[in-house]
Structure 1
Amino acid sequence: MSDLKVDDTAVQTTALGDYGHGHVVDANAPREIQLTFREALQLHAKAIAWSAYVSIGVIMLAFDPQLLGNLYAIPQFANDFGYLVDGEYVISAAWQTGLSMGNPVGQVVGAIFAAYPMEWYGRKLTFGACVLLTGGLVFIQFFARSLQVLLVGELLGGIVLGMYVVIAPAYASEVCPTSLRGHMTSFVNLCFVIGQLIGNGVTNGTSSLTNHWSYSLPFAIQWVWIAILLPGLAFVPESPWWLVRRGDLDGARKTLARLSSPEVNVDEVLQFIVHTDRLELELELGSTYMDCLKKENWRQTEVSAGVYCTQVLSGIYLINYGTYFFEQAGLAEADAFNMAVGFLAVGFVGTLISWYVMVHVGRRTIYVYGLAVLAALQIVIGILDCVPGRPSGAIWAESVLMIIWNGIYDLTIGPICFVLLSECSATRVRSKTIALATMAQGVLGIAMTVAIPYMINPGEANMQGKLGFFFGGLALLCLIWAYLRVPETKGRSYEELDILFARNVPARQFKAYVIEGPNSGDEK
């Protein structure tokens, strides 16, 4: 245990039953909770930089399935790996499903394994090990000359890549102050978009090559991210929350000093972390996977898993088949590639705009209204696909609406998912809650990876734009759940959120519900 003294008087652990109703739980809460966005940027620039650095791993996670989905539309890839059907080489739906399974299976398996080293060895060492493993496994994909070898590379690579999506939001939520927490956890979504956008751009650039470099070069691009990350691995600050749980208060204090400017009262922030950790011990929130499923944590786990699963159910996995989807919708190959790149470029802009919106609008409002718009757009796309004869105007309208859909997605439920994912989970079980949510999302992703090739393949269901009815219906069901269960977390400290969940406050009352000092009386 560290010799650093923490003022127990300033951070008294108060039993849950002693809390009355009011917004300010502790008069000794650190100033960082009341910081404006601009103040937080100035005082915690280093925390922002390191959070963004760790999130780069998500770019690799997003690049891989986007790359693979686009390869199906590259003639040379089909010639080298496919079989002849009616004078044209194609990759069967079964092999498309098998190859595309690597990423979602990896998310499930990787998420299971990620939480343990994150708790045993910390966020820093786990992240570093993942980067080194990714660099090695890319060799399998790069030298693959058969579908069987490529499948092995995708499965093994997917397991490691799946760990990044657990590490990144957990790390961002633990090194950034409250006023920046939403922006840096939502940066994970921007990294997804960046990875997908780069994947589309790279395959668009190599699609005209008439040798193996049309697909080998895109695989090799993954080493660029390894080269960017390697020099900084030894200098990544560890999570101060993890260090406090390990009893290393000196280490936590040094890390907080590294992550903030000299004007920040590091001791005050450290005291509040210790206080919140003690409160969670008192609430018996635990630290294991089984603790995530206990009644004390179940609601947080449900919300975290629900908002993540909604991404899949609303249709985001179509992005992995962007170029192929637009081709099957009726666009020419060149138009399909260009549309797929524009599709993700709009998503990139949408995520940037979401950072501004998050400062002024609550998480719940953005999430619920965004999901409603997404459901409506999918249904309209389905209706357009039913136009007799499917004229070119209807085909282009469907494609444009899909681009608008992606813009709205990355303005609303895309980035807000990662904010809610980190804010709703208790700090002691955050890595495991995020892991469980990732596993749930991955299982649904596996189902979609199996289903989507069969739904859009012209030799199978050939649903084209009618997929809008399928995903629009699922999005409507998710909308009902979100309205009833997704709470407002904007501006709340982790301590306040723990108490609100422990009190079973209804989701629609989170914003107005306040907690005053001890023994203060009833809700106002």
Structure 2
Amino acid sequence: MPGFLKVFGYADPSSPLGYGIDTTVQQLITSLLTLGSFVSSFAAGPFSSVLGRKPALWTACALNAVACAIMLATTDTGVLYFGRLLMGFANGFLVTFSAVYNSEVAPAQLRGVMVALFAYWVNIGSIIGAVVDNYTSTVLDKRAYQIPIACLYIIPVFLSVALLFIPESPRWLLHQGADSKARAALERLRPSSVPAEYLELEWAEMLRGVEEEKSHAKSVGVLDMFRGVIGIKQTFRYSIMNACFGFIGVNVGMVLIRKVLGRRSILMLGATICGLCQLIPAIAWSAKPASKTSATELVSSRLRAWTAGTGTSLGYVFAWLCGFCSPYFINPTDLNWGAQYGYIWAASNFLCVCFFYLCMPEMKGRSLEELDEIFLARVAAKKFKGYQCHITEDAVQDVKGQGVDLKEAVDRASKML
């Protein structure tokens, strides 16, 4: 954006825009957000142990507001860096705790779709953001970047208000010893049309799951867990197209995960497609460099925030590494690889396919407590699907004696949900 480059770049008569920007500035603007996300997602475990899921999301919204205000007001590169870092702190909490909360409150039958909704809304946000960027990119003053940044207030403000009307995670409350609050939260999260017997069975499973975890717990924390330039002229329009394809992919994935394929198959299919999409432009660039045609639920309930936060933070480490190194790979003044750097991402995606096949179990239709039991039993990934859980049978025994057909109640509830 010329309006951005006027403030944070330098005059460059040889550039089509009349301005340029240092590679170091590019690296820091991109990577500091990722670095901030790494720090906050890594801190998610200890934060959640004390304050819970909702306060973490409120904290993220507050940090977002401060970061946006800083970036809107400053014309100093150093202050901009700080704003990006602060935005990263907010982003790490938003990513980690929205996923954790969704996984903990969703019924087993809907958990895959509920968690997938995270990616769904991320893609909607990407489309809207890309459209806004496209139409403000031609503005020749600071409004070019101030308008997109100001848009980042909308969702956090909405989220801050919406959080007032939803309960804290019942599983988190159970682990804090607040049984009555946990039961009330679960009842608020399930529609009144769900059979009472199904609610009792779900509650009994949660209670037994917490008891089992406490009996095996040794500590809470890290130790217990182990016991863009590539030849595209219309860059902003390309980002809209890319976000739209992502949106389509998420919708297709939600249908497949619900009706056809399981999590494991979806991951393998997605990684294969990603690898091929990176391999094709890399090969095309190798054959004809610089040509225009060549660039075209799993974790313990007690440790969920620790594990999800740590996993997210490791993802941010690699994302930061990619953001930091990519300008060197692409820029003509450095390695000048162009699209050939797609070989790196193609190989990494194909490695993911191998990992998913060998190590990723199928979790479709399992409650979080059942998953805890299966992992505790050290069941091999390929045997996950057929494993019979005892915790469900025990929970059934806990609620029997009410003179009802529990199987019928569960079937009815599953159809409603």
The alignment's TM-score, normalised by the length of structure 2, stands at: 0.87
Give, in angstroms, the shift of residue 256 of structure 1: 1.4
User: Which of structure 1's runs of 4+ aligned residues deviate more than 6 A?
Assistant: none
Give, in angstroms, the shift of residue 462 of structure 1: 2.3
Name whichever of 260-269 and 351-360 sits farther off.
260-269
What CA distance in whole angstroms lies between the structure 2 residues aligned with 1:370 and 1:233? 32
Q: Is the Cα–Cα contact under 8 Å of residues 173 and 181 in structure 1 kept in the other structure?
A: yes
- Whether 1:342 and 2:241 are equivalent positions in the alignment is yes
Q: Which residue of 2 aligns with 1:84?
A: 11
Q: Which residue of 2 aligns with 1:276?
A: 209
What CA distance in whole angstroms lies between the structure 1 residues aligned with 2:283 and 2:319? 25
- Say how many residue pairs are matched: 385
What CA distance in whole angstroms lies between the structure 2 residues aligned with 1:463 and 1:193? 29
Deviations 1:439-467 (A, max 9, x none): 11111112111111111223222222212
Q: Which residue of 2 aligns with 1:126?
A: 56
Q: Is the Cα–Cα contact under 8 Å of residues 328 and 334 in structure 2 kept in the other structure?
A: yes
Q: Which residue of 2 aligns with 1:471?
A: 345
- Whether 1:505 and 2:379 are equivalent positions in the alignment is yes
- Whether 1:439 and 2:313 are equivalent positions in the alignment is yes
Which of 54, 69, 75 matches 2:2?
A: 75
Which of 71, 83, 95 matches 1:141?
A: 71
Label 1:250 to 1:337 Cα distance change in 2 as closer, same or farther (>3 A): same
Q: Which residue of 1 aligns with 2:415?
A: none
What CA distance in whole angstroms lies between the structure 2 residues aligned with 1:289 and 1:132? 27
Q: Which residue of 1 aligns with 2:87?
A: 157
Give the secondary structure class of the aligned counterpart of 2:303. Answer: helix
What CA distance in whole angstroms lies between the structure 1 residues aligned with 2:389 and 2:289? 61
Give the secondary structure class of the aligned counterpart of 2:287. Answer: coil
> Which 5+ residue runs of structure 2 have no aligned equivalent?
395-417
Q: Which residue of 1 aligns with 2:165?
A: 235
Q: What letter matches 2:278 in structure 1?
A: Q
Give, in angstroms, the shift of residue 111 of structure 1: 1.1
What CA distance in whole angstroms lies between the structure 1 residues aligned with 2:156 and 2:103? 24
**RMSD of the alignment, in Å?**
2.0
Q: Is the Cα–Cα contact under 8 Å of residues 45 and 221 in structure 2 kept in the other structure?
A: no
Q: What letter matches 2:186 in structure 1?
A: L
Give, in angstroms, the shift of residue 282 of structure 1: 2.6
What CA distance in whole angstroms lies between the structure 1 residues aligned with 2:257 and 2:192? 27
- Whether 1:496 and 2:396 are equivalent positions in the alignment is no
Give, in angstroms, the shift of residue 146 of structure 1: 2.0
Which of 253, 273, 285 matches 1:354?
A: 253
Q: Is the Cα–Cα contact under 8 Å of residues 81 and 146 in structure 1 kept in the other structure?
A: yes
Give, in angstroms, the shift of residue 425 of structure 1: 0.4
Give the secondary structure class of the aligned counterpart of 2:35. Answer: helix
Q: How does 1:391-402 map to 2 (within 5 A)?
A: 391-392=291-292, 394-395=293-294, 398-399=295-296
Give, in angstroms, the shift of residue 157 of structure 1: 1.9
Q: Which residue of 1 aligns with 2:405?
A: none
Deviations 1:258-282 (A, max 9, x none): 1111233244322221111111223
Q: What letter matches 1:75 in structure 2?
A: P
Label 1:506 to 1:148 Cα distance change in 2 as closer, same or farther (>3 A): same
What CA distance in whole angstroms lies between the structure 1 residues aligned with 2:94 and 2:364? 25
Q: How does 1:95-494 map to 2 (within 5 A)?
A: 95-264=25-194, 265=196, 266-284=199-217, 286-294=219-227, 324-325=228-229, 328-329=230-231, 331-332=232-233, 335-359=234-258, 360-388=260-288, 390-392=290-292, 394-395=293-294, 398-399=295-296, 423-494=297-368
Q: What letter matches 2:57 in structure 1?
A: F
Q: Is the Cα–Cα contact under 8 Å of residues 103 and 162 in structure 1 kept in the other structure?
A: no
Give, in angstroms, the shift of residue 285 of structure 1: 6.8
Label 1:263 to 1:389 Cα distance change in 2 as closer, same or farther (>3 A): closer
Give, in angstroms, the shift of residue 490 of structure 1: 1.0
Give the secondary structure class of the aligned counterpart of 2:40. Answer: helix
Give, in angstroms, the shift of residue 515 of structure 1: 4.6
> Which 5+ residue runs of structure 1 have no aligned equivalent?
1-73, 295-323, 400-422, 519-524
Deviations 1:121-160 (A, max 9, x none): 2212221222123212211010121211110110122112
Give, in angstroms, the shift of residue 357 of structure 1: 0.3
Name whichever of 345-354 and 375-384 sits farther off.
375-384
Give the secondary structure class of the aligned counterpart of 1:278. Answer: helix
What CA distance in whole angstroms lies between the structure 2 residues aligned with 1:214 and 1:512? 56
The alignment's TM-score, normalised by the length of structure 1, stands at: 0.70
Q: Is the Cα–Cα contact under 8 Å of residues 275 and 346 in structure 2 kept in the other structure?
A: yes
What CA distance in whole angstroms lies between the structure 1 residues aligned with 2:110 and 2:218? 25
